[in-house]
Structure 1
Amino acid sequence: MNKTLFRTALIAVAAAVLAACPSSKKPKTTTTPGVVKGPDRPTGTPHPAGTTVAPGGGASYTAVRYGDLPQWQIQQFAKSLRSFQLGCEKLKNRQGWQDVCAQAAQTGSDNASAKNFFERYFTPWQVSGNGKLNGTVTGYYEPVLTGDTRQTSRARFPIYGIPEDFVSVPLPANLRGSKSTVKVRRSGKNSGAIDDAGQFSADLSKFPISARTTALKGRFEGSRFVPYYTRNQINGGALNGKAPILGYADDPVELFFLQIQGSGRLKTPSGKFIRLGYADKNEHPYASIGRYMADKGYLPLAQTTMQGIKAYMRQNPNKLAEVLGYNPSYVFFRELQGGNDTGPVGALGTPLMGEYAGAVDRHYITLGAPIFVATTHPVTRNGLNRLIMAQDTGSAIKGAVRVDYFWGYGDEAGNVAGKMKHTGYVWQLLPNGVQPEYRP
């Protein structure tokens, strides 16, 4: 691609993003330092720099040289490699990834060896969405809530597992966007199927369906299949006696942000941690309470960060039900193993490594792939250029150039993540010979 236009676009992030001048030299790939065990694996044929593919969905990808990536030479490649190795527990069985995962397992843990691994076995592709190189980078973290395994005068707010009456019904592609009425039959616990011989009618116009909706989430009520309860209804007691309770949180606002993050830990008075992972959601669309609070005049838009919202709620508890209930989306959890010793498990199914993993839109970015992100640090305001792994997803993470950066767990990570919303640029690294794909 045209380097002048490319560098001009990067300046729009922040001058600090280009703090280290990228080299225009193509990385050497004729030797394999850093491979310390076993035979060298095939490298495939890299796509030449400037190759552009547009597989669909408004996305395009252009192969570039590593020297085009800002501050590439000073990355902490050993940490990036470790994060990639964690993801290889799932990737190693996927077509196109077997060889690079096998090689990753044999690569030395020093920085030089890790750098050579990525440069030798991957081609970087700059990602563009709807003709734009720039997108948005936000941050998330794993919250640590205080509470208990039983209800007390302090721990009063239930953390629900999947309710007994919650039913997921696969939605055929030809019905996505339809407003017709269909028949649904019960096909097992928490599951159903669209079937002309079904006993329950479902008016699709009543369900929050988009072009990407793959399942109806609801419940049986009389002879009808209806959308599942909203947050307001659940907070009002709709799930009493209908769902397993994994624990109780001390603070309803912290519980709300646990649902926004999608995973976290509950710390009990005994010092025990219960790790909570995403299980499912009611499928009502996410609505920003920050935008709602700004529109209502409760907070200036610039102050609707996680920290700002928490502070407002502490000072205005009478607004709690109104503000939290504005977002109808509700997440159900499951208890995971490893309460104290591992990171949260992302959508890939492997633990996330703080500051070296992130959430993406899997329609545009291959889940598990390394991605290079160029953006702005939310605290220092300096350039944040990092090779991380696309190992998670999120319902609010939509678009080709869209990343949610995982900062780790606890209050410190939360303070950084809550301030992060900046312009950013994304490069996807794929094994040599593998082209980017769009997955509808």
Structure 2
Amino acid sequence: MNTVTSTRFRLAAALSLAVLLSACPTTKPIGGGPYTGGPKSALPPTPPGQVYGTPGQAVRYTSAAFSQVPDWSGQSLKNSLLSFQRGCNQLGNKMQWQAVCQQAKITPLNDQAARLFFENLFTPWQLSDNGSNSGTVTGYYEPVLLGDTHPTAQARFPIYGIPTDFVSVPLSDDNRIRKGQVRVAVTGANQGVISGNGSYSANLNAFPITDRSRSIKGRVVGNQFVPYYTRAEINAGALNGKAPILAYANDAVELFFLHIQGSGRLQTPSGQFVRLGYADKNEYPFKSVATYMAGKGYLPLAQTNMQGIKAWMRQNPSKLAEVLGQNPSYVFFRTTTGAADEGPIGALGAPLTGEYSAAVDKHHVELGAPIFVATTHPLQNKPHNRLIVAQDTGSAIKGGVRVDYYWGYGDAAGEVAGKMKHPGQVWLLLPNGYTPRYQP
């Protein structure tokens, strides 16, 4: 089996492609008429059947021809190109993506031009996990909650910004592995470092550190730096007076699902919208309340989708604190702006596009890259094959063949997203001459 191509080769390949593309004028600007030209790559696509492995992982990438991608010839790719263009402000800063992003920005938004763009400049790579090409595709959306910007008889549940006593401390590889006692210094608002001269003692064994943790989140108590509050503690009032309140939701259950989705919109009685985006989290791992509810016999596992959970919680308000508290993870928000037709800002730093963006495991799929997903539509129960763009992440999204499909905002998108959990296959599209690599 071949090894992953060196960074040196990848950069050289990308530079060659950039030089060639910059010398080739396009035939039409964006919005132009029939497009008969098309960009040409300085490098040929990788021949089908080449296999690359991920160091220390069970993920494999196998190069393919576009003719091997399900229903590729029947795809409408205009919106796929639009979603990719939206991510190029961030992705285009990377050397290996500069040339294709420059070309994307001047490619007309029509299906013919989009097809030539993807087919001429990219190679599909099919992903597999532990020898299987099949993985799991779930869905998420941007909820719209009812509430207000100030507390009322209906709007009673606070939506918090980052607390004033919340401190994020970067974690080195050595600290993550060895753990033990360290000293922490608070260096600024919500920021700290591990330092031998730090004023506070921290026991890293007390923090929820995993092999992917890049920081610890905590607070100062006396001369100790301790883990930040859990969801159960925050719901019980631990943040009173310690965090800015951005708005108030009418419904605690809807607010819980806002935390799961990571962003949303709150509509006030006057019809105004407050857009809420992810700001930070308490760094506790996400735990499924669905699994807990099924284990307790509250709901059959088959009914623990979003709609089933919401209905049960509203029928059993006395169990609300118990069930919600089973997920210790808690998200803090910030207010954001954006066009009405654009989704929230994803982990890439670009706005998500409804039905054309997705959350992935960035260790195996590079953020900003196009991915072709072959799965099943959760309502229509028929094949749903589409070229979308990896522009977001999620704590529950782990593995190569693992996609969380962004459906847009509002109740209709939530209806689809809440019922989506289907097998699927994934092809990663990379610029010709650029091979897959592990993202630390």
**TM-score, length-scaled by structure 1:** 0.91
Consecutive aligned runs of 4 or more in structure 1 exceeding 6 Å deviation: none
Structure 2: how far apart are the matches of 1:296 and 1:97? 49
Pick which of 87-96 and 296-305 moved more: 87-96
Q: Note the residue ranges of structure 1 that are not aligned, 5 or more in a row.
A: 2-31
Structure 1: how far apart are the matches of 2:113 and 2:341? 27
Q: Deviations over 1:69-115 (max 9, x none)?
A: 11111111011111111111211221111111111122222211111
Aligned equivalent of 1:5? none
Amino acid at match of 1:46: P
Amino acid at match of 2:233: Q
Structure 1: how far apart are the matches of 2:107 and 2:193? 47
Aligned equivalent of 2:43? 44
Structure 2: how far apart are the matches of 1:98 and 1:108? 18
Q: Note the residue ranges of structure 2 that are not aligned, 5 or more in a row.
A: 2-23, 30-36
Q: Deviations over 1:246-281 (max 9, x none)?
A: 000000000000000000001011111111000000
Cα 1:346–1:338 shift into 2, 3 Å: same
Aligned equivalent of 2:52? 53
Q: Deviations over 1:324-369 (max 9, x none)?
A: 0110000000000127452211111111111011000000001000
Indicate if the aligned counterparts of 1:158 and 1:246 stay in contact, CA closer than 8 A: yes
Aligned equivalent of 1:119? 119
Aligned equivalent of 1:254? 254
Indicate if the aligned counterparts of 1:34 and 1:114 stay in contact, CA closer than 8 A: no
Aligned equivalent of 1:16? none
Cα 1:172–1:300 shift into 2, 3 Å: same
Amino acid at match of 1:380: Q
Equivalence map 1:57-206=2 (5 Å): 57-206=57-206
Structure 2: how far apart are the matches of 1:177 and 1:146? 44
Q: How many aligned positions are there?
A: 410
**Offset at 1:45?**
2.9
Which SS does the other structure have where 2:177 is aligned? Answer: coil
Root mean square deviation of aligned Cα? 1.7
Structure 2: how far apart are the matches of 1:225 and 1:157? 28
Is 2:221 the partner of 1:231? no
Cα 1:341–1:83 shift into 2, 3 Å: closer
Structure 1: how far apart are the matches of 2:312 and 2:173? 43
Identity among equivalent pairs (%): 61
Indicate if the aligned counterparts of 2:166 and 2:218 stay in contact, CA closer than 8 A: yes
Cα 1:381–1:186 shift into 2, 3 Å: same
Q: Deviations over 1:111-154 (max 9, x none)?
A: 11111110000000001122221111000000000000000010
Indicate if the aligned counterparts of 2:41 and 2:120 stay in contact, CA closer than 8 A: no
Q: Deviations over 1:369-404 (max 9, x none)?
A: 000001111111101111000001111111111000
**Offset at 1:54?**
0.9
Structure 2: how far apart are the matches of 1:39 and 1:160? 49
Structure 2: how far apart are the matches of 1:313 and 1:92? 45
Pick which of 86-95 and 120-129 moved more: 86-95
Indicate if the aligned counterparts of 2:41 and 2:432 stay in contact, CA closer than 8 A: no
Is 2:309 the partner of 1:309? yes
Cα 1:339–1:387 shift into 2, 3 Å: closer
Is 2:421 the partner of 1:421? yes
Indicate if the aligned counterparts of 2:26 and 2:38 stay in contact, CA closer than 8 A: no
Indicate if the aligned counterparts of 1:35 and 1:107 stay in contact, CA closer than 8 A: no
Structure 1: how far apart are the matches of 2:58 and 2:86? 31
**Offset at 1:173?**
0.6
Structure 1: how far apart are the matches of 2:38 and 2:135? 40
Structure 1: how far apart are the matches of 2:292 and 2:25? 54
**TM-score, length-scaled by structure 2:** 0.91
Structure 1: how far apart are the matches of 2:25 and 2:195? 59
Pick which of 408-417 and 192-201 moved more: 192-201
Structure 1: how far apart are the matches of 2:179 and 2:204? 5
**Offset at 1:55?**
3.1
Structure 2: how far apart are the matches of 1:338 and 1:77? 24
Is 2:378 the partner of 1:378? yes
Structure 2: how far apart are the matches of 1:48 and 1:246? 53
